[in-house]
Chain A
């Protein structure tokens, strides 16, 4: 048992923090809210130069071959600073499934482009049912000679407005779900940005008879849900790390405000009502940190746990939201404004909660695991 970071990990954290503070200050984040693309291509190429897109891709695909835990702590920094860019979407939601399920052909073709920052990818999974259950996938992919023809609508597809390729989860038969790699420029794709509170460029993507070559199936036909499970069971930990970083920063903001803001001739942090609020938030953020690291370490070392990942996502959803709510309370009226950076975080919590499963969804998955599990006292 050892919770120290390695030297490499400390370097990832330090360099990411410095880089993001300098290259992605809060005024830039605000500008990007109004930007049509929602990200800064120049910043994107610099991130690629830092090796972030290929951080955990093997060297043969132009990556740096680090591990899942390393990516986890990088995501934590991105959450801490807020990085409006399709990083999670490209790297976590798409490059990792390709690495895991792609043919060697597909890996060679797609991964280096991701690693070099040449291509933006995103996952087109959820639909108007806004569900992460297999039953939510209704978009049809019908076989026609060498192609599939896609027909249907995907909703809440992050950064589809700027994506080069989409990883589309489609229904290929009554029971069969299949993941397909789709050129975003294909004929018949119509993308429209949804006005989300966070202005984070989530899109509606309509597929009107879009043809996709059968070579572009990722994994096996009919077994696409395995890929979604891979995302739910592993990749969601990266989202949790991002949420952890955000929660940590909001806590720090509220804590310093509580020390500076004087009312009734005292810093408000000396009022117990405020101090205990902050202490409870602090306890939960520290707990979330250890959970995220535990899950990421398990994945890194080859023993992912469906139960643990769902626990982490459920906890992250709750802690991030509570941290922001309590953070606003500590700030009083200024916390209610756009002006305060806290709002940038708070407004993003809904997207993070929904991404790869909200609290109720993961609670149910935990319950399913508990239903089958053999308690220690009955097994010894």
Chain B
């Protein structure tokens, strides 16, 4: 048993803290799900991606030949924790560029695909920005029932259909697209394939969807006779489900640290804020803060456990779902407590950045108005609990 980080990780922690001091405006606080909404924020995020790339941190866990540093999972965890605590924007290269597109291409891509796309992501340039199009109007949790169809014609595929909730499609240079290539497969999972699609192609329409506070996070994406070179198929035809499940493992190492760092910062902000205005002296408030502090410490060590299992070469099955559910509970509590602490001020529109009455940069309101969306993305709580029940407790399938 050993709960200590090594020297390498501690050194990296220090470097990142120095970096944030130098590169981020004083008092900087960033929120989840926000950078793609606003042009100015997006430009700032992109400038940070570039700097992270220059540091070699953006894709640190990738092998050197693809623009990484071959960093260990523990270094990656430390980076994720710190980056999100300090709110460094631009760490993901759109939706999935760093976390799953790159790793999937490494596992299943052709040499040509690897050489083309991986350095683009690792460069931190706008040409390395991705969106991920899985969900459809009739296939959300039940993702295997997607209907968007790709049909082979010569050395091209012709794609028709619709995606929805596609985050950052309006920023992305590339789309990581899941489609049906065999609608008649005995099991729907066996008819899915993954493609790389150039967002500049003819036949793609991106229609914005606004969320209820007016952020432009996600979109509908329509495909009308979109022609994609067959060389853009990733891995094997009809093997998409298996590939996606396998590559998920890569994403997992960074998620736990990212969530913990983010939450820890919010808790710290709330502690300082309530100490400043005297609310901390109210037993009810300080006890709620204490309770959340317990949950955060638990979240931290659970996340470490997941990374530890991966570091031993195990492929965690239910742990990421466990960690996701745990995080969703924490976010909900933080959002409720944060706005309770702000009281009347929590009514202020989080997007009105310049209102003199805005507290804590509008961060608590943003959290409150965004935590539900954050909880749905990448699998709802109910679906994650199903996974924990089935694979963690070996209970029969419940649906």
Question: What residues of chain A have their CB less than 8 Å away from a CB belonging to chain B?
Answer: 1-6, 9, 69, 255, 258-259, 266-267, 269-272, 275-276, 278-280, 282-283, 286-288, 290-291, 293-294, 297-298, 308, 311, 314-315, 360, 363-364, 366-367, 370-371, 373, 375-378, 380
Contact = CB atoms under 8 A, between A and B. Distances in A.
Given A308-B297, A377-B268, A290 B291 contact: no
Contact of A366 (B283, B294, B386): B294
Given A5-B1, A371-B280, A378-B272, A275 B395 contact: yes
A364 B2 contact: no
Contact of A283 (B5, B275, B322, B395): B322
Chain B binding surface SS class? helix
A282 B271 contact: no
Interface string B94-128: 00000000000000000000000000000000000
A279 B85 CA distance: 29
29 contacts: A3-B304, A3-B305, A259-B395, A269-B393, A269-B395, A270-B397, A271-B398, A272-B398, A275-B386, A279-B392, A282-B392, A283-B322, A286-B302, A287-B298, A290-B304, A293-B301, A297-B1, A297-B2, A298-B3, A314-B291, A364-B283, A366-B294, A367-B287, A371-B280, A375-B268, A376-B85, A377-B86, A378-B268, A378-B272
Given A4-B1, A377-B85, A283 B388 contact: yes
A311 B1 contact: no
B152 to A, nearest CB: 40
Interface string B274-298: 0100001001001101110110011
B265 interface: yes
A363 B393 contact: no
Interface string B116-152: 0000000000000000000000000000000000000
A282 B286 contact: no
Nearest to B4: A1
B396 interface: yes
B22 to A, nearest CB: 11
Interface residues of B, number: 55
Interface in B282-339: 283, 286-287, 289-291, 293-294, 297-299, 301-302, 304-305, 307-308, 311-312, 322, 325-326
A102 B229 CA distance: 79
Contacts of A276: 382, 385-386, 389
Given A259-B395, A275-B393, A371-B286, 18 more contacts: A1-B304, A6-B1, A255-B395, A269-B389, A270-B395, A272-B382, A276-B386, A279-B385, A280-B385, A282-B392, A286-B305, A291-B298, A293-B3, A311-B293, A314-B290, A363-B290, A371-B280, A377-B268
B5 A1 contact: yes
Among B86, B302, B304, B399: residue with most chain A CB under 10 A: B302
A290 to B, nearest CB: 4
B293 A287 contact: no
A375 B27 CA distance: 13
A283 B1 CA distance: 21
Contacts of A371: 275, 280, 286
Contact of A279 (B286, B299, B308, B389): B389
B72 to A, nearest CB: 10
Nearest to A258: B395
A290 B85 CA distance: 22
A279 B3 contact: no
B17 interface: yes
- 8 closest Cβ pairs, A-B complex: A375-B268, A290-B301, A366-B290, A287-B298, A275-B389, A367-B286, A270-B396, A279-B388
Contacts of A3: 1-2, 304-305, 308
Contacts of B165: none
Contacts of A6: 1
Contact of B3 (A271, A283, A294, A311): A294
Most chain B beta-carbon neighbours within 10 Å: one of A279, A314, A315, A364 = A279
B398 A275 contact: yes
